[in-house]
Copies of this chain bind each other. A is one copy, B any other.
Amino acid sequence: MDTLTSFLCGQWQAGAAPLTPIHAAATGEVIAQASSRGLDLGAALACARQHGGEALRSLTFAQRGERLGLLAQAVAAHRDELIDLSLRNMGTTRGDGKFDVDGASGTLAYYARLGAEWGDRRWLFDGDQVQFCRSKRFVGQHLWLPRRGVAIHINAFNFPTWNLSEKLACAWLAGVPVLAKPGTASAPVAHRLVSIWHAEGLIPPGALQLLCGGAGDLLDHVGPQDCIVFTGSGATAAQIKGHPAVLRHNVAVNVEADSLNAAVLGPDVAPGSDLWTMFLAEVAREMTQKAGQKCTAIRRIVVPRAVIAEVRAELTARLQDAAVGDPALSSTAVGPLAGPSQQRDVEAGIAALSATAELVWQAKGVPAAGCFAAPTLFQSELGAAAPFVHDHEIFGPCATLLPVDPAPATVAEVVAKGGGSLAASVFSDDAGWAREVILAIAPYTGRIYWGSAKVFDQGIGHGAVMPALVHGGPGKAGGGEELGGERGLRFYWQRVAVQGDTQLLRGLAG
């Protein structure tokens, strides 16, 4: 059995007992273990600040981009190995594993290109010179410069390769070193990823460290130039943001947390039309891909009451076609959840939702061994007393149909009940209706996917997070924002306004 070490201060270090077991999700057997006990995390942060930051800041954007390009190539070169490991560890099907690994190399390559575009600069001007008083000579100029601390990345278990890589890409290109803590359930994949990069000599000293196991006393050591990016549950997010050292130093925290993402079917979409099919295919895929373990997955399906029976029947038929079982088989559409604790959470969530919503359909014959959850479809009325359907994210293959009167205001009210989401999708060819819905749900949403007949064959899916567009959402979804091209780098930068003589300020560019 593997004991996962942590990569801190340039050394692979083992934590002390007791160790946390890590499972093969498809069988439930323990395949690895990890512990961060006894590791000097204060020293790790100091090493990042002292060596990692300097190493990255001394590189130009083009050079940082070049590094990211090499990381992307290394991921691509070890693609099959990472997909296989993901299958053995988390029980991801090959398709789900590709989604994670190719997402990682794609995002790294995207930011590598951005770095090349920015060339031999090391920081950016923000906008032009601004006249701010009567003088035309004494003006202001905003700059973006990298923070002098370390970026602590506390990642989710569901996308071990992508989540580590997409956060790293933004931090490195911004010029800030990283200490990454993977979700323990999939730490073997993250550990392998960093081992590959390290073995190929791609990590400047202190620029990337890996902490396997619990976070220990990590947050006690944060300082005013550090920042934290967290993907995970709202409960843990509150602990991080409320940590005394985080509060004392006003450490910037970027959170991506629980999200009850909605898909909305327009009243104009006729059963049997292309757009109707696109909607159903999208919902079914979102429910089953990664066994529903996607922060952007569709959890609430908002459907005009007039067609609820047709949607119910056709969606159920599609779900029935999605075979649950051994992720190694190419015929399998839905693998297990990532581990036993994820399985317990999903089972408890489905039991709780069953108490307030109608159970429409549940897959049968799901393997008893391993960490499987049965794909499940619910239906709920808006007037139902319990807000559970809008409030509690069940992180598995489960969603709820919500029949509504499709007036834009009603639809927006339903979507807003989620308290803030990462993603929503709207399927309609009625531009007026869709515009009204989109603008009304936008304040509650980080990203909106507008499916229409015009893009019927071109969509990349409601759930896919693209590096050129922001990822994050307000309220329950954490209030954070990642990616979106340059937007995703600003969290790692300090914006400063410099006032002075117009010519001297131009000279700041060097």
Contacts and interface: CB of A to CB of B under 8 A. Distances in A.
A284 B323 CA distance: 77
Contacts of A447: 496-499
A497 B138 contact: no
Contacts of A225: 420, 443-444, 474-475
B224 A420 contact: yes
* Candidate in A145, A442, A454, A508 with the most chain B CB atoms within 10 angstroms: A442
Nearest to A418: B224
B250 A475 contact: yes
A77 interface: no
A275 to B, nearest CB: 12
A121 interface: no
Interface size class on chain A is 35 or more
Contacts of A442: 143, 145, 494, 496, 498
B252 A479 contact: yes
Contacts of A135: 455, 458
A494 B416 CA distance: 14
A492 B19 CA distance: 45
A131 interface: yes
B255 A250 contact: yes
Contacts of A477: 250
Interface string A482-504: 00110100000011111111011
Given A450-B504, A468-B140, A469-B140, A443 B479 contact: no
A497 B446 contact: yes
Nearest to A441: B496
A305 interface: no
A130 B469 CA distance: 8
A57 to B, nearest CB: 10
Interface string A361-394: 0000000000000000000000000000000000
Contact of A450 (B146, B451, B499): B499
The 10 closest A-B pairs by CB, nearest first: A224-B475, A450-B500, A250-B479, A469-B497, A238-B247, A454-B501, A132-B468, A135-B458, A138-B458, A132-B466
Interface of A: 123, 130-133, 135, 137-138, 140, 142-143, 145-148, 223-225, 234, 237-238, 241-242, 247-252, 255, 257, 416, 419-420, 431, 434-435, 438-439, 442-452, 454-455, 458-460, 466-470, 474-479, 481, 484-485, 487, 494-501, 503-505, 507-508, 510
7 contacts: A238-B248, A249-B476, A250-B477, A450-B500, A450-B505, A484-B495, A484-B497
